[in-house]
Structure 1
Amino acid sequence: MLPTQPHAWTPVALSADLPAASVLPAHLPGGALAVWRAEDGTVSAVADRCPHRGMRLSHGFVRGEALSCIYHGWRYGKTGRCLAIPAHPALSPPDAIRVATYRTGERDGIIWVTRSQEAGALPAHDGFVGLRSITLASTPEALVSSLGGTAEGGSLDGTIGGVEARLLMAPAGDEGALLCHLLVAADAMLEEKVAASRGLEELRRRAEAAGTTRAAA
């Protein structure tokens, strides 16, 4: 039920959850990511492992236009190339020291990542904006069954907390976990956003209970 095409875009986070000069962990099928936003607002995604000692770069920090590993401070630019090694300030790191990078894009308040250089235009969700993200210990099938909505290509439409909403489903990294991004109408009132957010919590409880029942069957 999740997109399985090799050229698919994956929704990894909401734009609001990644302010300038910050980094967060994310996941694509087959590997963990560090998604970071430079101070100029540009979003980049790299493999979540520093080539030096294997520390997760998602634990690191952003200064200017570079992501630094929290362990020994190795700095990586937007192309993935190592820019500086603090223990050897006079050294110009060789071009071979770099982390794998992935294509990113933003639309409708959602950050998308793909492994493919051939992926087309970003998925459009015109009229919707991202509200919040949540991780469920469940499956796409259990979530669809619990909501009773209509699913297509990782997108699920339905009523959440009495509000018409859309869920974007993506792998969460841990086995048996699902990442969901809640989208509501761009002109939704504050009370509608609150109702949808609370409804999402209830939906999570139902979906996790349904997923447990299916696993035990």
Structure 2
Amino acid sequence: MSFQDWYPLALSRDIAAGTSAGTRVLGEEFVVWRDSKGAVHAWEDRCPHRGMKMSFGFVRGDHIACLYHGWQYDTAGQCRHIPAHPDLEVPKTIRIPRFSTVEAGGIIWGCFNSEDSATPPAPDLPAGVTPLRSIFADCPAPLMVAQIAKTTFGETTPEVTAKTDRIVDITLGDIKLIAGVQAIADGESALHLVALGDVDASKLKPLSFWAEQLRRDAEAAARTSATAEIAA
């Protein structure tokens, strides 16, 4: 598995210290977790023992444990403790593939390049942002991005600039947003939305409603497109 460059995985705010969450990129499953010191990690979402999802497990300090049999792994992905065999010196071969992570623009990014390739520069995004929300839709990522300019914010038509296929700038009047575009699978996608600067709390709710409408519009567009393909 080798995905080039950085992929958005979640809003930094949504992965608190001592928690984990499962996610997918291009159909591949990953666990994103944050240890008690605040460092974020992205691994293959599978315990080597019986294949249980690590995102179902629990974080204790700088270890994450599998829910099934409690096998514990350190931040290097190495298994350090097997409860059924507490005195066992765990073989070095029992480890979980882990990947580079970075936090930029209020978003957690993962790089899934092969181990023998260099890690590319982190996304160049501003630090001063206000997290808005993540939206998940049953539609392809390109369709989701195309729909942004069609979903008005009140009477304002969004101005959209795609910096890359995973970073989109959105202007809604005097509000500027950044969207991290996550291609979850062929027909599933997510946008991780942050606003530049300190946004007044009174504006966050309308922005959240706009994001939800965007999700609905994108899914409706996907259904219309699917129906047209069938009819053709």
Q: TM-score, normalised by structure 1?
A: 0.90
Q: Which runs of 5+ in 1 are unaligned?
A: none
**TM-superposition CA deviations, 1:114-148 (whole Å, max 9, x none):** 11252222112215443211101112332233222
In structure 2, what is the equivalent of residue 196 of structure 1? 207
Q: Say if 1:7 and 1:118, in contact at 8 Å, map to a contact too.
A: no
Q: Secondary structure at the match of 2:90?
A: coil
Q: 88, 91, 99: which is aligned to 1:91?
A: 88
Verify the 8 A CA contact 2:106 2:194 in the aligned structure 1: no
Distance of aligned partners of 1:146 and 1:29 in 2 relative to their CA distance in 1, 3 Å threshold: closer
2: CA distance, partners of 1:124 / 1:166: 12
Residue of structure 1 equivalent to 2:119: 119
Tell me whether 180-189 or 73-82 shows the greater mean CA deviation.
180-189
Aligned equivalent of 2:221, options 200, 210, 213? 210
Q: What is the rounded CA distance, in whole Å, between the counterparts of 1:177 and 1:15 in structure 2? A: 21
Of 62, 70, 78, 1:73 maps to 70
Q: Which SS does the other structure have where 1:19 is aligned? A: coil
State the Cα RMSD in Å: 1.9
C-alpha separation between the residues in 1 aligned to 2:146 and 2:37?
A: 42
Q: 1:162 offset after TM fit, Å?
A: 8.0
Tell me what 2:145 maps to. Answer: 144
- 2:173, 2:215 → 1: CA distance? 12
- Confirm or deny: 8 A CA contact 2:141 2:188 kept in the other structure: no
Q: 1:85 deviation in Å?
A: 0.2
What's the TM-score, normalizing by structure 2? 0.85
Letter of the 1:32 partner, please give it: E
Task: Report the 3-state secondary structure (helix = DSSP H, G, I; strand = E; otherwise coil) of the residue aligned with 2:16.
Answer: coil
Whole-Å Cα distance in 2 between the matches of residues 38 and 141 of structure 1? 33
CA distance in 1, matches of 2:221, 2:173: 19
Q: 183-192 or 155-164: which moved more?
A: 155-164
- The aligned amino acid for 2:213 is E
Give yes or no for contact 2:54–2:66 (8 Å, CA) kept in 1. Answer: yes
* Matches for 1:8-157 after TM superposition, within 5 Å: 8-29=5-26, 31-116=28-113, 117-126=117-126, 127-148=128-149, 149-153=160-164, 154-157=166-169
1:82–1:98 contact (8 Å) kept in structure 2: yes
Instruction: Measure, in 1, the Cα distance between the counterparts of 2:176 and 2:123.
Output: 19
Secondary structure of the 1:11 match is: strand
Tell me, yes or no, if the aligned pair for 1:20 and 1:40 is still in contact at 8 Å.
Answer: yes
- The one-letter code of the counterpart of 1:23 is S
Tell whether 2:184 aligns with 1:172: yes
Is the Cα–Cα contact under 8 Å of residues 147 and 159 in structure 1 kept in the other structure?
Answer: no
